[in-house]
Amino acid sequence: MEYSDAMPDSPTVGRRERKKAATRQAIADAALDLFLEHGFEQASVRDIAERADVSTTTLFAHFPSKEALVFDREEEVDAELTAAVRERPENQSVVEALRAHALKSWVPIASDPRLHQLTALVDQTPALREYAERMWMRHAGTLSAVIAEELGREADDLACSALARFVLEIPTLTKGRHDPRATVETVFDLLIHGWQSQHDSGDAITGSCKG
């Protein structure tokens, strides 16, 4: 692998950290190449390590699992969620802040063609779909706590936990629908107003008559 000779991003970041980052990037790149070329299951971690010119031991020192090679952004997502709630404008509710965040950050998956290929890969690969779903749910604890704190409630307040989990279901719920934006809007309307207001097909979900 090659180390760029551009000037260091900042004086405090030494050669060591740069090399480490480069190694990590080399592994991620090799993985993406092989995944897109042969599919997720077809590419073995030994192959990936080989192409990145590292040992498999090193590979697993940087990524906790094969699936994790695809998703580099776990921590950032957590941070963004927290920020979206904490730093929302005055006079904006928590739910509104989450809706805004969902619309701004989750809806535009596309544009970059390479990234588009990747989402296609994830959709086609059950192991990756599952991993992605779990990935979202892993943030439920953090988000729930932030919401509770922001509203001055008990850390394990049920309404907050439930809200967090339900909001984090949205990416999954959105997947495969033609109009993600409308989907997000609809789900938030449901969350805010509840299922009692469903009257559109002549029979309310919460009404009494059988279909």
Partner DNA sequence: TCCATAAGTGCAACCGTTTCAGTTTCTGCT
Partner DNA sequence: AGCAGAAACTGAAACGGTTGCACTTATGGA
Q: Which does 46 bind (CB under 5 to 8 A by kind): its own copies, DNA, none?
A: DNA
**Distance in angstroms (rounded) separating the CA atoms of residues 34 and 54:** 15
33 vs 133, which CB is nearer to its own copies? 133
8 A C-beta contact, residue 141 and residue 79: no
| Alpha helix ranges (H) inside 53-157 | 56-62, 74-86, 94-101, 113-124, 126-137, 140-150
Q: Which does 162 bind (CB under 5 to 8 A by kind): DNA, its own copies, none?
A: its own copies
Say whether 139 sits in a helix, a strand or coil. Answer: coil
8 A C-beta contact, residue 174 and residue 163: no
- Which parts of 32-61 interact with DNA (CB under 7 A)? 41, 43-46, 53-58, 60-61
Q: Which of 39, 65, 73, 172 binds DNA (CB under 7 A)?
A: 65
**Distance in angstroms (rounded) separating the CA atoms of residues 175 and 36:** 20
- Which parts of 112-141 interact with DNA (CB under 7 A)? none
Q: Which does 92 bind (CB under 5 to 8 A by kind): DNA, its own copies, none?
A: its own copies
Site string for DNA, 1-20 (x = CB under 7 A): -------------xxxx-xx
CB of 187 to its own copies, least distance (A): 5
Query: In terms of Cα–Cα distance, which of 123, 128, 125, 124 is closest to 175?
Result: 123
44 vs 197, which CB is nearer to DNA? 44
φ and ψ at 106, to 5 degrees? -100, -30
Which residues contact its own copies (rule: CB under 8 A)?
88, 90-96, 130, 133-134, 137, 147, 149-153, 156, 158-163, 165-166, 169, 172-173, 177, 183, 186-187, 190-198, 201-211
Helix axes 113-124, 126-137, angle to 10 degrees: 100
Please state the length of the chain. 211
6 vs 209, which CB is nearer to DNA? 6
CB of 93 to its own copies, least distance (A): 5
CB of 6 to DNA, least distance (A): 15
Q: Say which residue the tokens 């094969």 belong to.
A: 66
- Number of other CB atoms surrounding residue 139 within 10 Å: 20
Distance of CA 129 to the CA centre of its chain: 11
Binding-site ranges for DNA (CB under 7 A):
14-17, 19-20, 23, 41, 43-46, 53-58, 60-62, 64-67
